Structure 1
């Protein structure tokens, strides 16, 4: 349960103001059909985050050892710093062609835009930390949906009212806390 809850919280916070959330708003404005967009986000996130969690879990199994746990802890601490940097979004560059319709356009765009994104890197780290592909995938997907479904339905009105700096700071603190706890556990500082 810890893997599910931690994954959900980390990704929901990290996703607020992220480029994929901005993409959700752009797609909602373009297609004006929220349900196919939500389904596309879900399909892309399940596929992308399953693969990311699997990579993390397999890396943890293959590279099992104290130094790898230090690397994962450092990854979470680096994610804390990265989370404080606001994302930018270029609608012309990032938006998928509309000829595919809302579901397919959303699924393709989200899968591609999520590659190398903060939440994908976090999913890899969570997969390595918890070594539970299913729980991490469920949690990170739930976190993505918590952050993006309101963006699809409420769009720009929601984003203009959310204090993104505060949310980024809270997400950074969560990443930092996970990294420091893992560092302390690995170093044997906790009993």
Structure 2
């Protein structure tokens, strides 16, 4: 699979999805996804309350596409019954210049059907093509068992567990997963912010 910069027309596909660089026309649907309380049940402080928050997030994704050649995709169904519907988002972005961060968020309608694995496979392949020198990581809040299982199925393993820096909940625990061993210095860089 070849992933090109935004505007190049590259829209990779999986068995049931077309993946595309976010466009302004996606903003309203993306905000609905990021404002949905069911989607954020495991991480309620990350739920977005305004479309401006979503637009800022999308701008960061687009900057990642320009800077790194890969970031987050919008995932839409190619299945006949749901063709064109927003399944969710997913991909990899460079975190702190030292690691890929794998991310995915699906609309609850599509949970439990293997869509996250399709997005993850495409993201992992693209990250390894673009910058194979960077480790692949994922951040999860402890208790988000659905994402934890999905991340483990993708071949990542837990390499760190500790306080969630910046979380107003003092009891929140962050888990760091990676596809390889990480040095203590790299773990510190990735978890102190």
**TM-score range relative to shorter protein:** under 0.3
Which structure: greater helix fraction?
A: 1
* More RCO (CA 8 Å, sep 6+): 1
Query: TM-score when scaled to structure 2?
Result: 0.26
Which structure: greater strand fraction?
A: 2
Query: TM-score when scaled to structure 1?
Result: 0.26
